[in-house]
Chain A
Amino acid sequence: MEQDVAIVTEGLTKCYSKKSVVNNLDLEVMRGQVFGFLGPNGAGKTTTIRMLLGLVKPTAGKIQILGHNLFSNREMIAKKVGAIVETPAFYSYMTGRENLKVLMQSSNISASSKRIDYLLEMVGLKGREKEPVKQYSLGMKQRLGIAATLLSEPEILFLDEPTNGLDPAGTVEMRSLIINLSQQNYTIFLSSHLLNEVELMCTDVVIIQKGEKRLQGKMKELLAQGKEFAIEATPASLAIAVLENYCQTSITVDANGWIVFKAEHFEVPTILRLLIEKGVQIYQVQERRNSLEKLFLELTGQPSESFATVKMEVSLS
């Protein structure tokens, strides 16, 4: 069982001048998972990732990567981990290929042209690798960042906001790249603001706020919780009365006049039959899945406007 665990943190805490940024965080990421790490701005996501990479020392707590203590096995673990922390940083005066060469050697691996060529091809930078990085667009830098994370053939990838600052086309490209990686059995630890992206890509998710874990679980199970259905029906008052009687929970009516109720999937035919028997006219039925965004907003109490833009970008793309 222990061999299946990629990342474990116990009581991970980081304080800056007595103010805790990450507080007593327990995480468990299994091998092969695409693990979504969510939280509003300032929740402590990047600090947590920096601690997992050994860039920041925790004030308290334990970190185990691939079954080994991070602090006593840094050298061994470093080769099995690839990371993009926030915006990928490169040596702007060097070409993309030279940057990969330097980063490969910095992993204490002899630079291999074959590996570099393969990765450049994979991230779609073949043909542009001889240009200085200062001439690259943000999207190209992000893709070069992904190539850089894969140089040492790692087992775990930490991707901190990999779609940050990308235009819609770049976001779609990055999403397909990450999905492609997830199919190659990498363990991916993905921090992102793009909840739709996380919902599409991640198998598991944790939501943190103010440095504390608010929720962790399987994406499918979380989304299945509190499944809702909506009907367009008249008379609405009669429909609501029937539903309240059957569901024993409060029934809501959304802005478009849809009557929304919670029920299990198998109960729907019974409920519809009952409504028709009572004389309710039903025009449409919708299944409303719980979205990650809704779950996130419920948990963190964050205003949804920061996500409106994100949704618009995604729908445009």
Chain B
Amino acid sequence: MTDAPPRVGVITFPGSLDDRDALRAVETMGGEGVGLWHADHDLRGVDAVVLPGGFSYGDYLRCGAIAGHAPILDDVKAFARGGGPVLGICNGFQILCEAGLLPGALIRNASLRFVCRDVFLRVETSQTPVTSELVPGEVVEIPVKHGEGQYVATPEQVRMIEGEGLVVFRYANSRGEVGGAANPNGSLADIAGVRNGAGNVVGLMPHPEHAVDPDVGPTGGQPLFASLLATALERAGATA
């Protein structure tokens, strides 16, 4: 064992916008940020992978559709199959859905407009790499900024998602009550983020990387990154 900080990779696709912000959030929270490139088959031995926000490949075809076939996604899938923690933020969430790593899809906001504002999220489960240091029912404040963040799924998927407890976050008010204006995009069942069956892959539309620096805004992203770094550290220890 060493005291080396956990290494968290952030993938840059052409059109990624919040990649530097995700790297900075990792560093701010005490991890080592490692830049990864979409065209490489190389995760550089990181302990966790983040797919950042943005408009990969210009959102051509569909959001995340082309990135879902990027060379590095093969490596991300293998990493996920091995239990590695993977976090998709905004466009990264869209990519994970397109790549089949998460259930459901993201379509245009019900308002048909881009929305950038702070929202409250109610934590639904601790059984993920980004909520291990939170408890269900806890509320965190984090901004959203997206035009296509309305979560949708087929009725069978919904039964599976709800039945197996795959919802990680729901849009809520500051008291944790869901419904109404708290939902910024019309997402099904107020779903803001989901996980896979194994629990190691998580995607969410809000931007925790923009909620770690108290000078800039709310700090609800801190416990998510703290959880991710703790998970990554454990994994580093286990594989060392």
Q: Do A and B come from one complex?
A: no
Q: B interface vs A, CB < 8 Å?
A: none
Q: A interface vs B, CB < 8 Å?
A: none
